[in-house]
Structures are given as C-alpha cells and as structure tokens.
Amino acid sequence: MSVNRPLLVGLTGGIGSGKSIVAKFFNVLGIPVYYADDRAKWLMSNDPELKNNIITTFGADSFTADGQLNRTYLAEKVFGDPEATKKINSLVHPAVKTDFENWAKHQNTPYVIKEAALLFETGSYKELDKIINVSSPLKLRVSRILLRDQRSEAQINEIINRQLPDEEKNKLADFVIKNSENKMVIPQVLEIHQKLLG
Ligand SMILES: CC(C)(COP(=O)(O)OP(=O)(O)OC[C@H]1O[C@@H](n2cnc3c(N)ncnc32)[C@H](O)[C@@H]1O)[C@@H](O)C(=O)NCCC(=O)NCCS
Ligand SMILES: Nc1ncnc2c1ncn2[C@@H]1O[C@H](COP(=O)(O)OP(=O)(O)OP(=O)(O)O)[C@@H](O)[C@H]1O
C-alpha cells in the first residue's frame, strides 16, 4: 500500500461492551467506520462461494427459503461448540479481510476504523496499525444484552466463552476505552482521536 494510506485502527470489545456505540462516536467525528460484523452477515448471504461453503458445512437450514441468513439456526450451531465457532471463523474471516482491504483503499482520511467483535481471536489485529478495546464490567455487559437481544443468559455466556477475556484484550490493545456506568465515553474518544490524528 502507498505511504499515504490511512492508518488502520481496529475497534473491538466483547459482546455488550458498547463497541458499536463507540464506533458511532468516531463516525460523528468524520472517521469512516467499517462495521465488520454487519458486513460479515452481508457477505455470508451475497458472496456465492462463502454462501456455498456455509451450506456445505452447516447445512441448507443456514439460509431461509427466501435466501436470508438463518441467524437463530446458525447462532445455535456455532456458539455452543468451540470447533463450530472455529469453522465459521475460518470461512467468514478471509472474505471480510479482502472486503475490508478494498474498502480501506477508497478512504482518504488520516485513519479509519474497523469495528469487529473478533480481532485478536482471528489474528486480523496483525493487519491493523492500532487497536482500541472497549472494556466494560462483565455483569453490565450481560445486562445490556439481556435488554438488547432475545438471548438467554446461558446463550450470552456461551458467546462470552467463545471470545478472548476482556483482561487479555486490554493487555494487547494500544488504547482502552472504559464504558462503565461511572465513566464518560466521549472524552475518551476525543483523546484517542487527537492522538491518532497526531
Ligand atoms: C452466528 C450468527 C449468524 C448469529 O447472528 P446473531 O444476529 O444472532 O448474532 P450477532 O451477529 O449479533 O452476534 C452476537 C454477538 O456474538 C458475538 N459473535 C459473533 N460472531 C462470533 C464469533 N464467530 N465468535 C465469537 N463471538 C461472536 C459478537 O459479540 C456479537 O455481538 C452471526 O453471529 C455470525 O454470522 N457470526 C459469524 C461471523 C462472525 O464471525 N462475525 C463476527 C466477527 S467479523
Ligand atoms: N454507556 C452506555 N450507556 C447506556 N447503554 C449503553 C452504553 N453502552 C452500550 N449501551 C447499550 O448496550 C447495548 C450493547 O451495546 P453495543 O450494541 O454498542 O455493544 P457491542 O459491543 O457492539 O455488542 P455486540 O458485540 O453484541 O454487537 C446496546 O443496546 C447499547 O445501546
């Protein structure tokens, strides 16, 4: 890539940490954000090779009759079984990697954000210049997801067990944003934004 390419900044955090909200704050500051989790779902339905691989591995029920990703079916298959999680990751992440690279080439800001639930787990942090981890207490994350999703506490815990623990992510990250009840997020975003521009 050319020397003028934007700095590639990963923004991650465990389920319910608040990384999507934090990503929106960066976006409000004019920073382009690639939402990897949303894009992964789009690619799973629209990239024919990926779609075929998902059907071969997880069965025809992975898609509904009208071609939509059967999220409930796949969530059940994938999150309860570490091997199945590894399998879906190995199918989806190469497609997301290429898609992100193509997207990033077309941006012309000093830096861009890749928001993704998995960066350390998939190794994709190695292709990024800086990593921000959004960190929140586990209990608060579970309570946020119970309000946001139609998922039981047991299902949420399964997902948590498929992800690297928050403490490990904090150690590996260049910046940590604390999104707990007693800490303001916007000043933390502004401070990191200034550093990344500098
Ligand atoms: C299994 C799927 C269809 C379930 O969809 P659903 O809408 O029910 O859940 P959603 O995508 O919102 O995920 C819920 C939470 O689980 C976590 N999560 C998602 N995928 C994974 C994964 N492969 N490993 C660990 N955690 C994951 C995220 O924190 C996410 O917020 C979906 O999660 C999926 O396609 N996952 C595989 C693609 C992927 O790895 N995406 C995330 C990284 S790019
Ligand atoms: N500081 C906060 N105050 C109030 N609500 C919050 C705060 N941070 C996050 N939330 C809420 O908690 C829920 C989880 O946040 P968000 O969707 O940003 O998490 P996420 O890290 O992207 O999770 P996932 O990996 O599951 O997609 C959302 O409903 C969001 O509105």
Q: Is residue 26 one of the residues assigned to a domain?
A: yes
pTM of the model: 0.96
Distance 164 CA to ligand 2 centre (A): 18
Q: Is residue 189 one of the residues assigned to a domain?
A: yes
Distance 50 CA to ligand 2 centre (A): 29
Q: Is residue 1 one of the residues assigned to a domain?
A: no
Find the domain containing 68 and state its range. Answer: 7-197
Domain containing residue 122: CATH number: 3.40.50.300
Each of the 198 residues of the chain gets a pLDDT tens digit; together they read 445 789 999 999 999 999 999 999 999 999 999 999 999 999 999 999 999 999 999 999 999 999 999 999 999 999 999 999 999 999 999 999 999 999 999 999 999 999 999 999 999 999 999 999 999 999 999 999 999 999 999 999 999 999 999 999 999 999 999 999 999 999 999 999 999 998
Number of domains in the chain: 1
15 lines ligand 2 (CB under 6 A): yes
Q: Is residue 121 one of the residues assigned to a domain?
A: yes
Query: What is the Cα–Cα distance from 17 to 13, expressed in whole angstroms?
Result: 6
Nearest alpha-carbon partner for 160 in 70, 82, 74, 77: 82
